[in-house]
Amino acid sequence: MMLKIENLHAQIGDNEILRGVNLEVAAGEVHAIMGPNGSGKSTLANVLAGHEAYGITGTVRFEDEDLLALSPEDRAAAGLFLAFQHPVEIPGVGNLYFLRMAFNSVRRRRGLEELDVMGFLALAQERMKLVEMDRSFMSRSVNEGFSGGEKKRNEILQMTILEPKLAILDETDSGLDIDALRIVAGGVNALRRPDRAMIVITHHQRLLDYIVPDRVHVMAGGRIVRSGDKDLALELEEHGYADLGLEVASDRSASVGATP
């Protein structure tokens, strides 16, 4: 099993956001995670990538290694990649410089040869075609002044360059028009391989028309409450979360609902 999450809890202060997540993802599989706002989807993605804001219990094994013991940079080197829901803007850091630095850092830790500027530029240009990105992006600061769609494409570009074993896409489709969605999905599909897995977090079934998942999970209240095949996504699209008889509300909103 590539990724094995057992009883994962995460909290910020007294606020427990993940309340016992269990998930297994095998190489070659694409898993979709759906669920209402506040159900813990993005927190799960951030915890897996190594964000340090959370208090965490439980176990996460990635290729039989203790993922939670690794720094974010070591997780990247081990083959984990998170496409952020809201990629941060970094003024003053050139996109090309950053990408090459990331690429070579990861390559070095994987014991692979680093690329010089010319070699990297050739690679980057080839990958940029996949996400239909203009060369001018390279000379701009990381994400600075990028539109929502450009930021998402930059995330996918980074993914195609870093070639992770496990990619987590956190609402990469949100805010994209249909053309941008097609481009992003095309970049993702180009990376599908038997030795690579993906976790696609989304609000909308729409994305799953382009990136067809092997498994669909529904998160609610900090847990995965239901799992199924791709038809589950269609069912959700049609009926919403409530009609599925899922316990979607968190404890707090449930008690609010009980108050007349």
Binding residues (CB under 8 A) for other proteins: these are 49-52, 71-73, 75-77, 81-82, 84, 87-88, 90-94, 96-98, 100-106, 108-109, 117, 138-139, 141, 158, 162
Tokens of 191: 């990376």
Amino acid at 13: G
Backbone φ and ψ of 86, nearest 5°: -125, 85
CB of 91 to other proteins, least distance (A): 6
Q: Which residues pair with 141 in a beta bridge?
A: 94
For other proteins, the closer of residues 25 and 162 by Cβ is 162
- The answer to whether 223 and 17 are in contact (CB under 8 A) is no
For other proteins, the closer of residues 133 and 208 by Cβ is 133
For other proteins, the closer of residues 27 and 96 by Cβ is 96
Q: Please say whether the dihedral angle defined by the alpha carbons of residues 248, 253, 258 and 260, taken in this order, is positive or negative.
A: negative
CB of 37 to other proteins, least distance (A): 20
CB of 207 to other proteins, least distance (A): 22
CB of 16 to other proteins, least distance (A): 21
225-230's contacts with Cβ under 8 Å and 24+ in sequence apart are 230/32
For other proteins, the closer of residues 89 and 209 by Cβ is 89
Q: What is the Cα–Cα distance from 30 to 196, expressed in whole angstroms?
A: 9
